[in-house]
Structure formats: C-alpha cells, structure tokens
Amino acid sequence: MLNYVLSRLLTFVPTFIGVTLISFAFIRVLPGDPIVVMAGERGMTAERYAELEAQFGFDRPIYVQFWDYLTGVLQGDLGNSFVTKRPVWDEFFALFPATLELSLCAMVFAILIGLPAGVIAAVNRGKFFDRALMSTALVGYSMPIFWWALLLIIVFSGNLQWTPVSGRIDLLYYFPNPTGFMLYDSLVSGQSGAFASAVRHLILPTIVLGTIPLAVIARQTRSAMLEVLGEDYIRTARAKGLASKRINGIHALRNALIPVITVIGLSVGTLLAGAILTETIFSWPGIGKWMVDSIFRRDYPVVQGGLLLIAVAVMIVNLTVDMLYGVINPKIRKR
C-alpha cells in the first residue's frame, strides 16, 4: 500500500509542473495589464509604469519570470497578491475552508440522495419511480446552475423566507474563526442560534452545488446496479434464501459502488473548481469568488497560486479515491 501511494505521489510531479506552467501562461495570455488595472481610471505616468514594471519583474524575459516563479513555488512561496499585498498562501487558506465546507456538504447531499435513489430506480426498473427519477436527473444535469440557484432563491428565500439569500452566517453572530469551518466554529462558539444560522445559510448553496453530482451519481448508481443485478452471484445470493433488501443493499451495491466511486471522485474535483458560480451567486466567501475577483484584477500571483492549489487539492482527492477503490474492490487491493 505504501509503495502504491508513493508511486502515485510521484505521478504528481509532472502534473504539478504542467499546472504551474499552464496557470502561469493562462493569466498572461489574457488581454489586460495588472499595472494598468492597479492605476485605475486616473492612469499613471510612463516613469511610474516603468518603475512598477521593474518592481514586479515584468521587464525581464518571460522564461526568467517563470523560472523565478517555479523556484519560488518549490520553496513554498507563491508570491504576494498585487492587490492586498498579502501572501497568496495565507489568503488561500483563509478562504479554502469555506469552499471545502460547501463542497463537502454538497457531496454528502448528492451521495445521501443519489445513491439510494439509483438503487431504488434499478430495483424498480421501468416502473414509475425509475422513469420519474431518471427524467428528473436529466433535468437536474442539464439545468443551468445559475438559473437553478436564482429560482431557489426566489422561492425559498424570497417568497417563503425560509432561508437567507447569501453569506455564511447572520451578522448578529460574531466569534473568532479558528478553523474556518463555519459549522464547527459556530457550534463550539456556544452562541445560541449560531449553528442553526450557519446551517440555514448552507442549505441553498449545498442544493445548488450538489444538483449535478446528485444527478450523475443517481444515474451511475442505477446503471451499475442494473449490470450487477444480472450477475451470477446475485442468483447465488437469492439461492441462499436472502431477502431482497439484503441482496440489493449488500451483495449488489458493494459491487455497483466500484464505478460509482469513480464518478464521486471526479465530481469532487469539479466541485472544488466548479464552486465558483455557486459562490458568486450566494456571495459565499470561498476561493471560487476570490479567484474570479483576482482574474478581473489581473492579480497574477493569486490566479497562478490559486489554480495550483486547487489542482493539488483535486489530485489529493483523486489519490484518496484510488485508495478507496482498494478498500471496496479486493481485486485491486491484492497486487
């Protein structure tokens, strides 16, 4: 197992360098100049421009800039934001918990509903529940996420007033934020109502962000279950006189989980990166919104560093998924 993890970690190296290069190139290909953006509408003199250019090192050849950046990254220095002057690293980890919290909630939501729904649909193949679920899943999958979010806000926040429109917690509550995970922090703060408020703020973003993974997981679970239910070992299980619930829930699901885990892993990756839209709509103070703002400001170090750290997070998730495979599927474990 240790060898396996180490060999997987080794494959991170080219990915890591690739992501560094792409993110470095990507932001520079975009039209616009960070110094001009910084100057704002008043503009600046040519001398001041040259001075800033030299300060940021933009006057040097591009490969030298990349080399500087790469060596910095390898030493753990992602640079400082042009706008806030704070290290990218600090900014990222101040905001990342918010994104992680939202993504985890969305994933739990998607799995808790998608998995059982897929199983029930497969077991009742062709019946009403199956058809209804599969068409709903298709709608959920194809719906534009911003439209879905606005719809939910209008109904549940606007008309029904059940949930807040945006943010992570009511402004009434204030407490130090040691972990950055609002659910945990509000709970340990001991302030009455803080946790409930945090939960209520999470509901809509969770649903919006979890909808696509939910649809994908439900459909994948259904098709995997259908395939497994035709296998010989399911007939064996029935020949043992087991109840259908046990056969579907243990014998079949355990096998069907193997492809589903893949989909879940891929979804987590897209969630971390794809939270951008949801976070923007709900003013969720996570890395998605931070990245979007930084792109508009041409804040090179933030965009580069942010992309890199997101990529690393996705790679770690994928590694975890690969190790989960071994737990679920014994054929992979023994090798």
Partner 1 sequence: MSLLRIRNLSVSFATASGAFKAVDGVDQDVNAGEILSIVGESGSGKSVSMLALMGLLPWTATVTADEMTFDGVDLLNISKSARRKIVGNDLAMIFQEPMSALNPCFTVGWQIKEALRIHLGLDRKARHRRAVELFEQVGIPDPERRLSAFPHQMSGGMNQRVMIAMAISCQPKLLIADEPTTALDVTIQAQILDLLADLRNETGMGLVLITHDMGVVAETAERVSVQYAGQKIEEQPVDDLFNSPHHPYTAALLDALPERATDKLLPTIPGVVPGQFDRPRGCLFSPRCKYANDHCRAVPPIPAGPELGFVRCHYPLNTDERNVS
> Residues 128, 190, 232, 245: which binds partner 1 (CB under 8 A)?
232
Classify the C-alpha dihedral 287-289-294-295 as positive or negative.
positive
Q: What are phi and psi of 87, to 5 degrees?
A: -60, 140
Q: Residues 42, 85, 245, 331: which binds partner 1 (CB under 8 A)?
A: 331
Of 194 and 247, which has the nearer Cβ to partner 1? 247
Report the distance separating Cα 233 and Cα 291, nearest Å: 49
User: Is the CB of 224 or the CB of 276 nearer to partner 1?
Assistant: 224
Tell me which of 10, 239, 245, 335 binds partner 1, using CB under 8 A.
239
Distance from C-alpha of 78 to C-alpha of 68, rounded to nearest angstrom: 11
Is 124 an interacting residue with respect to partner 1 (CB under 8 A)? no
- Note whether 287 and 263 are within 8 A (CB): no
Report how far residue 179's alpha carbon sits from residue 101's, in angstroms, rounded to the nearest whole number: 11
Instruction: Read off the amino acid at residue 293.
Output: D
Considering beta carbons, is residue 94 or 242 the nearer one to partner 1? 242
Residue matched to tokens 């649809």: 215
User: What is the rounded CA–CA span in Å between residue 308 and residue 159?
Assistant: 41
Q: Which is nearer to partner 1, 19 or 237 (CB)?
A: 237
Examine residue 255 and tell whether it contacts partner 1 (CB under 8 A).
yes
Residue 237 in contact with partner 1, rule: CB under 8 A: yes
Tokens 């990342």 label which residue?
96
Q: Is 254 in the site for partner 1 (CB under 8 A)?
A: yes
Q: How far apart are CA 65 and CA 79, in angstroms?
A: 12
Which of the ranges 40-48, 155-163, 192-200, 232-240 carries the binding residues for partner 1, by CB under 8 A?
232-240
Q: In Å, how far are 3, 98, 110, 172, 310 from 272, measured between CA atoms?
A: 28, 11, 14, 29, 7
Residue from 178, 233, 296, 316 in contact with partner 1 (CB under 8 A)? 233
Residue count at the site for partner 1 (CB under 8 A)?
20
- Site map for partner 1, 42-61, x if CB under 8 A? --------------------
Instruction: Give whichever of 48 and 246 is closer to partner 1, judged by the CB atom.
Output: 246
Nearer to partner 1, 242 or 321 (CB): 242
List the one residue from 59, 90, 231, 293 that touches partner 1 (CB under 8 A): 231
Q: Are 249 and 119 in contact (CB under 8 A)?
A: yes
| Cβ atoms 71, 24 nearer than 8 A | no
Whether the Cβ atoms of residue 237 and residue 249 lie closer than 8 Å to each other:
no
Which of 48, 86, 131, 235 touches partner 1 (CB under 8 A)?
235
Report if residue 330 touches partner 1, rule: CB under 8 A: yes
**Nearest-10 crossing angle of helices 88-123, 300-328:** 40
* Per-residue tokens: 80: 């400082």
Q: Which of 60, 135, 240, 296 binds partner 1 (CB under 8 A)?
A: 240
Contact flag: residue 1 with partner 1 (CB under 8 A): no
Smallest gap from Cβ 246 to partner 1, in A, equals 8
Nearer to partner 1 (CB atom), residue 86 or residue 240: 240
Q: How far is the CB of 260 from partner 1 (least distance, A)?
A: 13
Beta strands in 118-254 (DSSP E): none
Instruction: Report in angstroms how near the CB of residue 255 gets to partner 1 at its nearest.
Output: 5
In the complex, which residues of this chain contact partner 1 (CB under 8 A)?
231-233, 235-243, 251, 254-255, 328-331, 334
